[in-house]
Amino acid sequence: MENIDDLANLIARHAPVDGSLDTAIEGVGLLRASAATEPVHTLYEPSCCIVAQGRKRASVGGREYQYDPAHYLVVGLDLPVIGAVVEASAGAPYLSVRLPLNRETLADVLIHDEPHAPHDAGRASPAIAVGTATPPLIDAAARLLHLLDTPEDVRALAPLIEREILYRLLRGPQAGMLRQIVYQTGRIRRIQKAVAYIRRHYREDFAIDDLAGIADMSVSTFHAQFKAATHMSPLRFRTQIRLQEARRLMLAEGLGAAEAGFRVGYESPSQFSREYGRLFSAPPRRDAAARRVAKAT
């Protein structure tokens, strides 16, 4: 428990108020919450989240993943996620650190430390998973955050510790997923190409055949592999990206529901309202108004 306590103290000290914080270590972020939170719709990028205190839940396509000081969350591709802190208090806030999964560093670790490891290119499995947080992994995360106290050491030492963290993850049950991020022939790597296309062109209509071609798969294989990785169909994935962006436009830029729906690709306001209400449990105008009130209080 000594390492996890050290990690919790470091996060609490460098993230003294609730919210997310980007650190001086590129790509590394901290999160603190002094109470349980409402579900938040957001896009998770390839990363690993290590919890030092409290508990959080991530929902993807109707599947739930809970992670805490004994379990880390790893995400292998860009995924629309509903996240909520489910265990936190003022005396024991939720504290976590997020680390990016850098493809180049992963490739270097694989080349030098796992030259003969299989990469499970054809295996159908989710691109999000929970693993056991081992003492060496927690220790490495704590040593990485200790560098925030000596910023002159970050440039030289942070890449070495980040490499160690990836090495520890590659020794865990999600090794197959991480290898696929590296290999061009890996299933997750190929699905990520289609995901990147959807993120760029979510306002447009496109054929599943086009996405299958981008992933270099047959249509039936692509559909099955995409759903296995993301827990949703490609069209449902696009819908969630559209609706998350529409919500952002209403809250951050003050757009009305009709204009926001049109901006993200909806030609029918009624269809936009139906799908928005299905995802956010309230029609767009009512949801946006409630969110503004909640933010103001």
Quickly list DSSP for the chain: -HHHHHHHHHHHHH--SSEEEE-SSTT-EEEEESS----EEEEEPSEEEEEEESEEEEEETTEEEEEBTTEEEEE-S-EEEEEEEEE--SSS-EEEEEEE--HHHHHHHHHHH-TT----TT----SEEEEE--HHHHHHHHHHHHGGG-GGGHHHHHHHHHHHHHHHHHTSTTHHHHHHHH-TTSHHHHHHHHHHHHHHSTTS---HHHHHHHHTS-HHHHHHHHHHHHSS-HHHHHHHHHHHHHHHHHHHS---HHHHHHHTT-S-HHHHHHHHHHHHSS-HHHHHHHHHHHHH-
Domain that holds residue 283: 241-296
pLDDT digits (tens, 9 = 90+) for 262-288: 999 999 999 999 999 999 999 999 999
pLDDT digits (tens, 9 = 90+) for 71-107: 999 999 999 999 999 999 999 999 999 999 998 999 8
Dihedral of the alpha carbons of 69, 295, 199, 272, in degrees to the nearest 10: 130
Asked whether residue 27 is assigned to any structural domain, the reply reads yes
pLDDT of residue 178 exceeding 60, the answer is yes
pLDDT digits (tens, 9 = 90+) for 117-154: 555 545 557 899 999 999 999 999 999 999 999 999 99
Q: Which residue has the tokens 């692509």?
A: 222
Dihedral of the alpha carbons of 293, 30, 45, 113, in degrees to the nearest 10: -170
Q: Are residues 177 and 246 in the same domain?
A: no
**50 contacts 138 by C-beta, under 8 angstroms:** yes
Asked whether residue 234 is assigned to any structural domain, the reply reads no
Q: Are residues 34 and 157 in the same domain?
A: yes
What number is the average pLDDT over the span 167-190? 86
pLDDT at residue number 1? 54
**48 contacts 99 by C-beta, under 8 angstroms:** yes
Q: Are residues 160 and 280 in the same domain?
A: no
Q: Read off the pLDDT band of 251 (50, 70, 90).
A: very high
- Structurally, the chain folds into a number of domains equal to 2
Q: Are residues 177 and 265 in the same domain?
A: no
Domain boundary among 166, 182, 198: 182
In this structure, the number of other CB atoms found within 10 A of the CB of residue 41 comes to 16
Asked whether residue 123 is assigned to any structural domain, the reply reads yes
pLDDT at residue number 17? 97
Q: Are residues 23 and 112 in the same domain?
A: yes
